[in-house]
Amino acid sequence: MRMGEVKRETKETKIDLRIALDGEGGADIATGLPFMDHMLNSFARHGGFGLSVHAKGDLEVDAHHLVEDLGIVLGTALKEAVGDGAGITRFADAAVPMDEALAEVAIDVGGRGYLVFTGDFNSPAVGGVDTTLFEHFFYSLCTRAGITVHIRFYGRNDHHMAEAIFKAFGVALAKAVAIDPRRSGGVPSTKGTL
């Protein structure tokens, strides 16, 4: 089973995270931010990943450090789980509607970290989380994981938009890291390496 496990402790946060790419969508998540718990659970469930996250952060300051470090740790664990990328599909996309909201995510698990995040939330916070932190979370994740991700979204309800993003990210990532039987274990790159 392809897994990644990372522990990170700073003066601002303490995170213990484990992801199984070939899981069944089970999640055990406690970050101290119920809305982030909900988003990470949606990501794991719809991506079919096993995900365990236990985190504490300096929430008395605000949620920034914890959300950023969750992205860093999840990205690092994903990179570990993917390994050299032998046999993976590599490219994938997904579009997830949630009532009036729609999120589209395209992914390249190709070794280069990059994020394009296109869309606007309607209010400064949702579920007690500053809406600007979602882009920051995915930027931190992408740069640590070495994946390129394009996220586009729209809608009226901020909860629906955020949840559609996390669900679409899970669905697209699951497709991108799936083993492609046509590859015979080779790395999906003309360079021979990701």
**C-alpha span between 48 and 35 (Å, rounded):** 20
Alpha helices (H) along the chain: 34-47, 64-82, 132-145, 158-177
Instruction: Give 3-61 pLDDT, tens digit per residue.
Output: 999 999 999 999 999 999 997 778 999 999 999 999 999 999 999 999 999 999 999 99
Q: State the pTM of this model.
A: 0.94
Give the CA-trace dihedral at 78, 138, 55, 30, to 10 degrees. -90
| Per-residue pLDDT reduced to its tens digit, 89-99 | 999 999 999 99
Question: For residue 154, what is the enclosing H or E element?
Answer: strand 148-154
Domain 3-183: CATH architecture, name and number where available: 2-Layer Sandwich (3.30)
DSSP classification of residue 182: G
CA–CA gap between residue 79 and residue 56 (Å, rounded) = 23
